[in-house]
């Protein structure tokens, strides 16, 4: 290879690396919307997910859940069914709440949107923070 082609190749690689760095700035943040809803994803009064009131379940079986998705935005009224693709966790799961930057206990307003939710999922993923079911659509 001539010195000119090595120089051009090196320049191309540097430009390509710069382009990749610009596209992948390491910002894995997203917005995630949160709602208090029943097992089927029907929005309920947010007081039902206030674990300080302890009204959200019978014994150890929760009746209400905090549903979340990057597609949820403010404005779904009580009685509305959330769009398919969200995930849920028990309203009183302190670890799950904290992992999303929510208060570990207490009331969370319906339609709360958190930014900088990094790598937490959405779009139907369940993982350990969920009861393992997706909304039915």
> For 70-119, how does the pLDDT look when each residue is reduced to its tens digit (9 = 90+)?
999 999 999 999 999 999 999 999 999 999 999 998 989 999 999 865 54
CA distance 106 to 94: 10
In contact, 85 and 124? CB cutoff 8 Å = yes
Nearest to 68 by CA among 94, 96, 92, 45: 96
Is 11's pLDDT higher than 70? no
Q: What is the mean pLDDT of residues 2-9?
A: 53
The answer, yes or no, to whether residue 47 has pLDDT greater than 60, is yes
Q: Quote the DSSP letter at residue 33.
A: E
> Measuring CA to CA, which residue among 119, 29, 111 is closest to residue 72?
111
Confidence at residue 128, expressed as pLDDT on a 0 to 100 scale: 34
Q: pTM for the complete prediction?
A: 0.63
How do the residues of the chain divide into helix, strand and coil, expressed in percent and rounded to 5? 25, 20, 55
Q: Determine the average pLDDT of the residues in 3-27.
A: 50
Q: Which residue has the tokens 């992992």?
A: 99
């Amino acid at each position: 290879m001539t010195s000119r082609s090595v120089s051009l190749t090196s320049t191309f690689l540097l430009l390509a690396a710069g382009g990749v760095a610009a596209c992948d700035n390491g910002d894995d943040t997203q917005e995630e919307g949160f709602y208090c809803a029943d097992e089927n994803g029907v929005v309920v009064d947010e007081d039902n997910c206030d674990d300080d009131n302890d009204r959200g379940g019978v014994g150890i079986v929760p009746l209400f859940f905090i549903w979340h998705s990057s597609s949820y935005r403010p404005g779904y009224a009580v009685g509305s069914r959330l769009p398919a693709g969200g995930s849920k966790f028990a309203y009183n799961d302190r670890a799950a709440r904290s992992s999303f930057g929510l208060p570990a206990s207490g009331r969370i307003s319906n339609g709360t949107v958190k930014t900088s939710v990094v790598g937490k999922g959405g779009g139907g993923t369940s993982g350990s923070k969920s009861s393992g079911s997706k909304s039915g659509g």
